[in-house]
Amino acid sequence: MMMKVLFKLIIAFAFIPFQPALAQNCNKYIAIDIRLGDIVKGERVITFIRLLSPQHPQAMGHEYPTATSLHKKEVETMIYLGKLLNWNLYATLNRHPTNPVEAWAFEGEFLPSPSKTVKEAKVLYEAQKAPIPGLKSLAFVDRCPVGLIIDTRDLSLEERNMKRSVSSGLDIPRTTFDKIIRDLLKEQSQSSGVIIWK
């Protein structure tokens, strides 16, 4: 009798659709978040954020730690994301905030940006509204974000669910931001790719 029950359970589970698991601990890479703001509204023209955990020593407690320099692999990834939006970010990213650095500051802790994997990944063009105001592109590897571009220049404060401007152009608690990205990547059928919102 027990064997019959066990056999029925095995058959039942065999027909449950496979749902790709989302990597909860995205601790292999550090995502770069580039934000373009409206200087007229008092926002920075461009902000470079390295999405370290706020508890990381180099984050210094900030929810969105500013990157004072970019690694050459991060620059390659972000130039490619810009290209998919028909933007040429080469001059900007190779000069600002500084020239790209060769040495990776997080050696032994995180890997440099996987620019080669991103360039070879499938590009998905999304017609629906982005889940984060101004989100234009998102590169992910192993269902973890590695690069984002957020452009809020043409969005009103109301469209951003904000009452006042902030320097980075977007005011979302980090925990909420992370959950939105995590839920979005959970829906993807492929483990690596680039999503573009136009």
The runs of H, that is alpha helices, within the chain are 2-14, 72-84, 90-93, 115-120, 174-186
Examine residue 72 and state whether it is found in any structural domain, yes or no: yes
Examine residue 169 and state whether it is found in any structural domain, yes or no: yes
Examine residue 58 and state whether it is found in any structural domain, yes or no: yes
Q: How far apart are CA 193 and CA 198, in angstroms?
A: 16
Instruction: Specify the pLDDT at position 162.
Output: 94
Examine residue 37 and state whether it is found in any structural domain, yes or no: yes
**Single-letter amino acid code for the residue at 86:** N
How long a stretch of residues is the chain? 198
Q: Which structural domain, as residue segments, surrounds residue 191? A: 29-197
Examine residue 3 and state whether it is found in any structural domain, yes or no: no
The runs of H, that is alpha helices, within 15-106 are 72-84, 90-93
DSSP 182: H
Examine residue 18 and state whether it is found in any structural domain, yes or no: no
Q: How far apart are CA 140 and CA 119, in angstroms?
A: 11
- The one-digit pLDDT tens for each residue of the chain (198 residues) are 544 434 444 444 333 333 333 345 688 999 999 999 999 989 999 999 999 999 999 999 999 999 989 999 999 999 999 999 999 999 999 887 688 999 999 999 999 999 999 999 999 999 899 999 999 999 999 999 999 999 999 999 999 999 999 999 999 999 999 999 999 999 999 999 999 998
Instruction: Specify the pLDDT at position 24.
Output: 55
76 backbone dihedrals φ, ψ, rounded to 5°: -60, -45
| Nearest C-alpha neighbor of 76 from the set 46, 114, 120 | 114
Domain count, the chain: 1
Question: SS3 of 70, please?
Answer: coil
Instruction: Specify the pLDDT at position 165.
Output: 92
- Residue 23 contacts by C-beta under 8 Å, 6 or more apart in sequence? 142, 143, 144
Instruction: Specify the pLDDT at position 8.
Output: 44
Instruction: Specify the pLDDT at position 181.
Output: 97
Examine residue 17 and state whether it is found in any structural domain, yes or no: no
Examine residue 21 and state whether it is found in any structural domain, yes or no: no
